[in-house]
């Protein structure tokens, strides 16, 4: 989720405290499953190097620190 999108959204929507708290966890769960990420994995076929690169990206998305609060 791009923080630029959050900056636009907050101009017309007020995020609740619960939404602010849930955003990083939801992002970490949903981001690796987005359509383009799924297609990338499918297109890797049996190329173990490409598959590992994709899995590394998923691990990065799930473990990195995300501070959405300042943008919500």
Instruction: Say if residues 61 and 32 touch (Cβ distance below 8 Å).
Output: yes
Contact partners, residue 41, CB within 8 Å, separation at least 6: 51, 54
Distances (CA, A) of 3 to 35, 45, 56, 57: 20, 32, 22, 19
pLDDT given for residue 50 in this prediction: 92
- Pick the more confident residue, 2 or 39: 39
The per-residue b/e assignment along 33-52, b for 16 or more CB within 10 angstroms, e otherwise, is eeeebeeebeebeeeeeeee
State yes or no: pLDDT of 63 exceeds 70: yes
What is the distance between the alpha carbons of residues 27 and 3, in angstroms, rounded to a whole number? 12
Band of residue 52 on the pLDDT scale cut at 50, 70, 90: very high
* Domain encompassing residue 52: 3-71
pLDDT given for residue 49 in this prediction: 94
State yes or no: pLDDT of 27 exceeds 90: no
Domain count, the chain: 1
């Amino acid at each position: 989720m791009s923080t630029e999108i959050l900056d636009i959204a907050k101009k017309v929507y007020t995020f609740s405290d619960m939404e602010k708290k849930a955003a990083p966890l939801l992002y970490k769960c949903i981001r690796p499953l987005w359509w383009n990420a799924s297609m990338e994995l499918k297109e890797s076929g049996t190329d173990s190097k490409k598959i590992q690169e994709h899995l590394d990206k998923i691990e990065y998305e799930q473990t990195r620190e995300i501070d959405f609060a300042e943008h919500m």
